[in-house]
């Protein structure tokens, strides 16, 4: 089973696909967005430094992100992992390559989840998460709609939106992704590690495509 680097615009379904992969194969899910949100919620120094940047839909600096991932990869060494949200710049991709060489990680694939901006925006603006148990739902998706509006199906907790899931922030995040994406895609293509899978569909066909690629 290969380690996975997800390269995908916001709301392409990285989180959903990661949860399927964790459940079925026991991957460690490394989401840089979650790590930063946890830092903000805990009121740590890192959290205070990145809060405004995230709320505006901008990117946190490469130095901060590279240190964060370096620590994480060192601590989970040996277990299969999914990188969700890293790398987001060519600099980060190059630094990750260095880390892989140093940690002897060679069994990996970069999966590009391709999605149209229109569909990604719809998913982003409909996305809600249970504040109690963290389960994700989507107000605009037949597949992931909560049974009762605003209430978690699993534990009855309140469903809340991320502060950066608004139209302005979404536009900025999507456009930044497209701007940085080309060079990252080229980078992994040159390394012969790139697989492109469509996310312009429900989550199951996308998952099947991923399963095929990680077991190849
Ligand atoms: P995500 O949950 O992956 O959409 O990330 C939420 C926000 O966290 C992004 O919009 C960025 O502000 C920040 N972030 C997460 N990962 C990175 C990264 N690799 N580089 C820079 N900023 C990041």
Neighbours of 134 (CB within 10 A): 13
pLDDT for the residue 27:
97
Tokens of 173: 């995040």
**Cα(137)–Cα(148) distance, integer angstroms:** 11
Spatial distance between the Cα atoms of 55 and 95, rounded to a whole number of angstroms: 26
CA-nearest residue, atom 14 of ligand 1: 33
Task: Say which of 2, 70, 139, 162 is annotated catalytic.
Answer: 162
Q: How far is the CA of 53 from the centre of ligand 1 (A)?
A: 9
Ligand 1 site, residue 85, Cβ cutoff 6 A = yes
Q: Which two tokens stand for residue 122?
A: 């719809």
Beta carbon of 54 within 6 Å of any ligand 1 atom: yes
Q: How far apart are CA 140 and CA 91, in angstroms?
A: 35
Ligand 1 pocket check for 88: Cβ under 6 Å: yes
123: annotated active-site residue: no
What is the mean pLDDT, run by run of 10 residues, along the chain of 216 residues? 94 91 96 94 95 90 96 90 94 97 95 95 92 92 90 97 88 88 95 97 95 93
Residue 59 beta carbon below 6 angstroms from any ligand 1 atom? yes
75 alpha-carbon distance from chain centroid: 19
141-167 in b/e form (b: 16+ CB < 10 A) is eeebebeeeeebeeeebebeebebbee
Q: Is 127 in the pocket of ligand 1 (CB under 6 A)?
A: no
Are 155 and 132 in contact, with CB atoms under 8 Å apart?
A: yes
Cβ contacts of residue 79 below 8 Å, gap of 6+?
Answer: 26, 27, 28
Residue 195, beta-bridge partner list: 111
88 is catalytic: yes
Whether 37 sits among the annotated catalytic residues: the reply is no
From the list 14, 37, 123, 144, the catalytic residue is 14
pLDDT score of 162: 85
The model carries a pTM of: 0.85
Of the candidates 177, 175, 166, 159, the residue with the CA atom closest to the CA atom of residue 56: 166
């Amino acid at each position: 089973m290969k380690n996975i680097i997800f390269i995908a615009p916001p709301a392409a379904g990285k989180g959903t696909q990661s949860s399927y992969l964790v459940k079925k194969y026991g991957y460690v899910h490394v989401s840089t967005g979650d790590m930063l949100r946890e830092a903000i919620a805990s009121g740590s120094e890192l959290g205070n430094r990145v809060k405004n940047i995230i709320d505006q839909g901008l990117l946190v600096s490469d130095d901060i992100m590279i240190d964060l991932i370096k620590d994480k990869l060192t601590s989970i060494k040996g277990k299969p992992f999914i990188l969700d949200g890293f790398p987001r710049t060519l600099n980060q991709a190059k630094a990750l390559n260095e880390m892989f060489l140093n940690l002897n990680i060679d069994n990996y694939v970069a999966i590009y989840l391709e999605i149209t901006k229109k569909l990604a925006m719809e998913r982003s603006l409909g996305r809600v998460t249970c504040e109690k148990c963290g389960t994700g739902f989507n107000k605009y998706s037949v597949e992931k709609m909560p049974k009762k509006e605003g209430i978690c199906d699993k534990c009855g907790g309140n469903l809340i939106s991320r502060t950066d899931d608004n139209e302005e922030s979404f536009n900025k995040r999507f456009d930044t992704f497209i701007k940085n994406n080309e060079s990252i895609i080229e980078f992994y293509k040159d390394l012969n590690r790139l697989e492109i899978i469509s996310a312009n569909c429900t989550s199951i066909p996308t998952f099947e495509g991923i399963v095929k690629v990680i077991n190849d």
